[in-house]
């Protein structure tokens, strides 16, 4: 009888740390998910020159900021989409300004600007440039940003 009691106690002692570790791990996992929800970082890849797509993008960005007001969002504009950020060519200036006020950052690719002969002073106010649009996207992904091709 004593042997059975010792055996049961020994098993209980061996399984208790595993159960405790599981509970601790679950708590850590929940914390991580909560932290992720408040630190969303999203990079958009915009290269198509489609004005209907721009309208859809503005709506989507507003929806994200409404659902996750603290989300960091960067829209990397390159290729045929560059006209979205050129003051004299865009029809989205008001929408871009409103989104910038909510913290959305639109950036222009300098390589594309050079090919299309667009200077920095032709860009909408508050639009910074990056040397290489694709490079910017890759660096954001390396830093853990979510990627959306638009």
- Tell me: do 56 and 117 sit in the same domain: yes
Is 0.85 surpassed by the pTM of this model?
no
- Tell me: do 49 and 99 sit in the same domain: yes
Sign of CA dihedral 65, 141, 96, 46: negative
- Tell me: do 30 and 46 sit in the same domain: no
- Tell me: do 45 and 26 sit in the same domain: no
From first to last of its 150 residues, the chain has per-residue pLDDT tens of 665 655 556 565 665 554 444 444 444 445 455 455 558 999 999 999 999 999 999 999 999 999 999 999 999 999 999 999 999 999 999 999 999 999 999 999 999 999 999 999 999 999 999 999 999 999 999 999 999 999
- Tell me: do 18 and 63 sit in the same domain: no
- Tell me: do 69 and 141 sit in the same domain: yes
Q: How many domains does the chain have?
A: 2
Q: How far apart are CA 55 and CA 78, in angstroms?
A: 17
CATH number at residue 105: 3.40.1260.10
Q: How far apart are CA 113 and CA 123, in angstroms?
A: 10
- Look up the domain containing 25 and give its range: 1-34
């Amino acid at each position: 009888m004593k042997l059975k009691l010792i055996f049961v106690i020994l098993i209980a002692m061996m399984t208790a740390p595993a159960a405790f570790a599981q509970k601790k791990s679950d708590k850590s996992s929940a914390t991580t998910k909560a932290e992720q929800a408040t630190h969303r970082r999203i990079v958009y890849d915009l290269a198509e020159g489609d004005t209907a797509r721009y309208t859809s993008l503005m709506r989507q960005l507003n929806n994200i900021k409404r659902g996750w007001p603290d989300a960091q969002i960067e829209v990397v504009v390159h290729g045929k989409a560059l006209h979205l950020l050129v003051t004299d060519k865009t029809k989205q200036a008001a929408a871009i300004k409103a989104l910038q006020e909510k913290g959305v950052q639109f950036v222009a690719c300098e390589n594309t600007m050079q090919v299309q002969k667009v200077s920095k002073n032709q860009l909408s106010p508050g639009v910074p440039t990056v040397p290489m649009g694709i490079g910017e996207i890759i660096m954001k992904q390396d830093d853990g940003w979510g990627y959306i091709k638009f």
